[in-house]
């Protein structure tokens, strides 16, 4: 349940003018992860400005803007995602075409913004896959609250494992 009203109208496709704010949100998310025991996810410069620029150019970068600029960001793109081609353990819920959510980050935690973004995503798309690091307990809880089902484990391009999640409406 969200802690406050987060209108879907606050979500919009990012614009080039949002890129500095997006990078600041990524930095805040990295700091939050480190402060909460997640030392190994989003290391170095990941996600980089190049990731944000690519997602923006493809129409995949969404921001949550409360009026004074973006406070959260996520990338939503059509599948297939090569990381999801192979899964160990529990399988995906189906093999239908799906959307992928990556790089969800909020500048300030505890306000319900991430949950609102996931609710918007699940209202808009019937079949969505996502993944997160085993140490990212806040994201695991948020995905599960939004109706995502924990499946098996996928392996990222850098060889690290991620817990796979799948949302299917109905």
Cis peptide before 91 (omega within 30 of 0): no
Residues of the chain by 3-state class (helix, strand, coil), percent to 5: 35, 30, 40
What's the pLDDT score for residue 7? 57
DSSP string, 102-123: EEEEESSSSSSHHHHHHHHHHH
Q: What is the pLDDT of residue 112?
A: 84
- Answer for the pair 115, 146: CB distance below 8 angstroms, yes or no: yes
pLDDT at 4 (0 to 100) = 41
pLDDT of residue 110: 65
Domain boundaries, the chain: 8-168
CATH architecture for the domain at 8-168: 3-Layer(aba) Sandwich (3.40)
Q: What are phi and psi of 144, to 5 degrees?
A: -65, -40
* pLDDT string in tens for the chain (170-residue length): 333 445 567 899 999 999 999 999 999 999 999 998 888 889 888 999 999 999 999 999 999 998 888 999 999 999 999 999 999 999 999 999 999 999 999 997 667 899 999 999 999 999 999 999 999 999 999 999 999 999 999 999 889 999 999 999 98
Q: Give CA–CA dist 40/53, Å, rounded.
A: 24
Please tell me the predicted confidence (pLDDT) of residue 1.
32
The predicted structure's pLDDT at residue 2: 36
Cis ω for the linkage preceding 80 (within 30 of 0): yes
């Amino acid at each position: 349940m969200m802690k406050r009203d987060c209108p879907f109208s606050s979500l919009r496709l990012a614009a080039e003018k949002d890129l500095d704010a997006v990078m600041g949100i990524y930095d805040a998310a990295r700091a939050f992860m480190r402060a909460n025991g997640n030392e190994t996810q989003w290391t170095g410069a990941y996600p980089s400005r190049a990731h944000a620029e690519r997602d923006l150019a493809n129409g995949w970068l969404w921001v949550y803007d409360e009026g004074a600029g973006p406070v959260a960001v996520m990338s939503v793109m059509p599948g297939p995602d090569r990381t999801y081609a192979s899964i160990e353990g529990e399988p995906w819920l189906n093999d239908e075409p799906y959307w992928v959510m990556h790089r969800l980050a909020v500048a300030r935690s505890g306000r319900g913004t991430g949950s609102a973004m996931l609710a918007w995503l699940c209202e808009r798309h019937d079949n969505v896959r996502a993944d997160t690091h085993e140490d990212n307990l806040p994201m695991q809880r948020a995905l599960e609250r939004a109706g995502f089902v924990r499946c098996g484990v996928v392996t990222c391009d850098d060889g690290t494992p991620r817990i796979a999640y799948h949302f299917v409406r109905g």
